[in-house]
Amino acid sequence: MGKLGDGYGSEYHFLRHRTGQPEALDKTLLTALGASEGRLEWHYPIGAEGEREPEGLAFLRDREDVQTLWREFWPQRGRAQTWDGVAKLHRGADVEWVLIEAKANAVEFVTPPCAASKDGGRAQIEKTLGRVKSALGVHRHYPWLGTYYQYANRLAVLHFLNELAQVPARLLHVYFTGDCFPDGRECPANIERWHELIRARTITLGLPEPHALSDRTHEAFLRC
């Protein structure tokens, strides 16, 4: 998610929808998740003052077994993954975590490369992403530490939760159309443009269609 702007940016728009139109937002997200009959139990954001984006697997802090596995899977130095939204999806007796990323412009969609140093866990990240590539049927030579590194490490979290920790989870991207930034950066005006950007990311990362996590990655589109 980008820096909070005054009337613009994914953080601004997501919080506006979450606090101003919660029922409509839930309906849109549940439809995107293929769970129209379900309900969302929000853990973040809930509209409280001073809320901070959850990092890593902090939402599972009470699961020491998961935290132990996570420390073996991903380096604990440097900046952890942050989530724009975290919720539980309830469908009858079934409960799954929903991890949400929001985007409103092309600059934040094409994220910076991995900045981890050799001493900051880069080798562990490379090894882990290599394992995820193999699980998803991606050739090892496709670079996952450069452009779209953020998406790649989110897929790694999704793989970890579902396959290693046995914690059912889904990744949901919320894409806003029609935003306008003061610096003139590209903000997709329609869903078709977002699909073009998503397709470019898929090709760059070498992701087959479908892959092993396809049914757990979702997209929702909202107007600013």
pTM of the predicted structure, to 2 decimals: 0.95
How many Å apart are CA 151 and CA 35, to the nearest integer?
23
Omega of the bond prior to 45 within 30 degrees of 0, cis?
A: yes
User: Which tens digit of pLDDT belongs to each residue from 166-181?
Assistant: 999 999 999 999 999 9
**How many independent structural domains does the chain possess?**
1
Chain length of the chain? 224
Q: How confident is the model at residue 5 (pLDDT cuts 50, 70, 90)?
A: low
pLDDT score of 3: 47
User: Which tens digit of pLDDT belongs to each residue from 178-191?
Assistant: 999 999 999 999 99
Q: Is residue 81 part of a domain?
A: yes
DSSP 81: P
Domain interval for residue 82: 10-223
Q: Is residue 201 part of a domain?
A: yes
Q: Is residue 1 part of a domain?
A: no
Omega of the bond prior to 210 within 30 degrees of 0, cis?
A: yes
Q: Is residue 83 part of a domain?
A: yes
Q: Is residue 36 part of a domain?
A: yes
Q: How confident is the model at residue 146 (pLDDT cuts 50, 70, 90)?
A: very high
Q: Output the average pLDDT for the chain.
A: 95
Q: Is residue 5 part of a domain?
A: no
How many Å apart are CA 210 and CA 208, to the nearest integer?
5
Q: Is residue 16 part of a domain?
A: yes
Q: How confident is the model at residue 1 (pLDDT cuts 50, 70, 90)?
A: very low
pLDDT score of 47: 84
149 CB-near residues (< 8 Å, 6+ apart) = 111, 112, 113, 114
Q: Is residue 80 part of a domain?
A: yes
pLDDT score of 2: 42
Average pLDDT of span 120-140: 96
